[in-house]
């Protein structure tokens, strides 16, 4: 019976990459994701996300428990390590992610498809807020890039931020054009 494909997610990829470096426990993985600012590309806002993803990777045989220990009254700590299948799956996922555009479902296009549900003036106001948020995001990305440059961080470890910046610049330009089209009546509807 052929094995079913493993469910890929950005967080699963990040966890497998960390475990390729060395075996570690979930809390350490979560800390490294934050320290390395990878929480800008994977969602660990929910504390349980790392644990739930590790449980799935464990069930799928992509990681295994290396050891479990307890120190004093602290909760039990489980150290995970990457399996051979996990390494193969990780490399396969990375090759697919780099070569094939994914069909993703972000919220913004859904909101754009629903523009007629709101009055034009309100849409303009909301899009102007989005412009401000994008400008702030770009400022943060640029500040982080300057700080990383000052610390001598190699570009290899910053390319995802370059990509995020390019996407934000493109979106910012497009949203400004949309606001202009709405303001000049080139795009309108009745509500």
pLDDT tens-digit map of 91-132? 999 999 999 999 999 999 999 999 999 999 999 999 999 999
Query: What is the residue range of 81's domain?
Result: 10-99
Q: Which H or E run contains 66?
A: strand 63-69
Query: Each residue of 1-11: pLDDT tens digit?
Result: 445 678 999 99
**Tell me, what CATH number does 35's domain have?**
1.10.10.10
The pLDDT mean for the chain works out to 94
pLDDT of residue 1: 40
* Mean pLDDT, rounded, for 32-56: 94
Are 62 and 85 in contact by the 8 Å Cβ rule? The answer is yes
Domain count within the chain? 2
Instruction: Give yes or no: residues 91 and 15 share one domain.
Output: yes
Are 189 and 114 in contact by the 8 Å Cβ rule? The answer is no
* Mean pLDDT, rounded, for 27-53: 94
pLDDT of residue 143: 97
SS3 label, residue 172: helix
SS3 label, residue 81: strand
* Mean pLDDT, rounded, for 173-180: 99
* Mean pLDDT, rounded, for 183-191: 93
Boundary (domain end) residue, out of 69, 99, 129: 99
pLDDT of residue 69: 84
Residue 3 lies in a domain: no
pLDDT of residue 181: 98
This prediction's pTM: 0.86
Residue 191 lies in a domain: no
Instruction: Give yes or no: residues 150 and 80 share one domain.
Output: no
Instruction: Give yes or no: residues 77 and 137 share one domain.
Output: no
Query: Each residue of 135-168: pLDDT tens digit?
Result: 999 999 999 999 999 999 999 999 999 999 999 9
> Packing angle between helix 49-59 and helix 26-35, nearest 10 degrees?
120
pLDDT of residue 104: 92
Instruction: Give yes or no: residues 51 and 117 share one domain.
Output: no
Residue 189 lies in a domain: no
- Taking residue 171's Cβ as centre, other Cβ atoms within 10 Å add up to 15
Instruction: Give yes or no: residues 148 and 95 share one domain.
Output: no
Boundary (domain end) residue, out of 99, 128, 149: 99
Residue 33 lies in a domain: yes
Residue 55 has pLDDT above 90, yes or no: yes
Residue 4 lies in a domain: no
Boundary (domain end) residue, out of 99, 127, 153: 99
């Amino acid at each position: 019976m052929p094995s079913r494909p493993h469910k890929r997610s950005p967080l699963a990829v990040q966890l497998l990459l960390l475990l390729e470096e060395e075996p570690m426990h979930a809390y350490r993985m979560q800390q490294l994701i934050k320290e390395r600012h990878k929480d800008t590309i994977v969602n660990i806002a929910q504390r349980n996300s790392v644990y739930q993803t590790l449980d799935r990777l464990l069930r799928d045989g992509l990681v295994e428990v290396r050891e479990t220990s307890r120190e004093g009254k602290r909760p039990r700590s489980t150290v995970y390590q990457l399996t051979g299948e996990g390494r193969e799956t990780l490399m396969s996922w990375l090759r697919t992610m780099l070569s094939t555009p994914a069909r993703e479902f972000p919220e913004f296009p859904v909101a754009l498809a629903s523009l007629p549900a709101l009055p034009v003036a309100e849409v303009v106001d909301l899009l102007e807020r989005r412009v401000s948020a994008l400008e702030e995001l770009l400022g943060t990305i640029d500040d982080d890039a300057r700080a990383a440059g000052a610390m001598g961080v190699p570009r290899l470890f910053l390319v995802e931020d370059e990509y995020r910046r390019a996407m934000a610049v493109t979106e910012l330009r497009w949203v400004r054009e949309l606001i202009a089209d709405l303001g000049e009546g080139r795009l309108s509807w009745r509500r």
